[in-house]
Structure 1
Amino acid sequence: MAEDFSFEIVKKIGTVAEGKGGWNIELNLVSWGGRPAKYDLRSWSPDHQKMGKGSTFSKDELISLKKLLDTIQIE
């Protein structure tokens, strides 16, 4: 049986995409289980009580990702 876990959206940074039914892909600063907050990219329900799969990044990981994305040429 899955254990309960806690999370707190410390800061809402922005919405990447708006989906059907009000679910949005968002970049937020989230504290999981009372730990220090990390950058988090995932889909959230309108009330932020349910979430989809996502990715969590430390500050250094997000900086590396930004540098990598800056090298991509989008057609």
Structure 2
Amino acid sequence: MALNVNKLVDKAYEDKSFSELLAAPPSALEGLTTKHDEVLAGLGIKTVGDLAKWKYAERAAAIAALAEFQA
């Protein structure tokens, strides 16, 4: 089974592997631009992988995942 991530990434990155996407700049993600790359670089985030491992993104994702189980 193949995964299609074309709607998640910029057209220029549609044929890239997951490893290549992790090494790509954040602007490889659909909706982000090189201006976002500049802002994120100021936070130490230079790749999609850095963004995925950024502690604040991880915390936000954890809160979002757990919120649906809150009573």
TM over 0.5: no
Tell me which protein shows more helix as a share of its residues.
Answer: 2
TM-score w.r.t. structure 2 length? 0.29
TM-score w.r.t. structure 1 length? 0.28
Tell me which protein shows more strand as a share of its residues.
Answer: 1
RCO higher in structure (CA 8 A, sep ≥6): 2
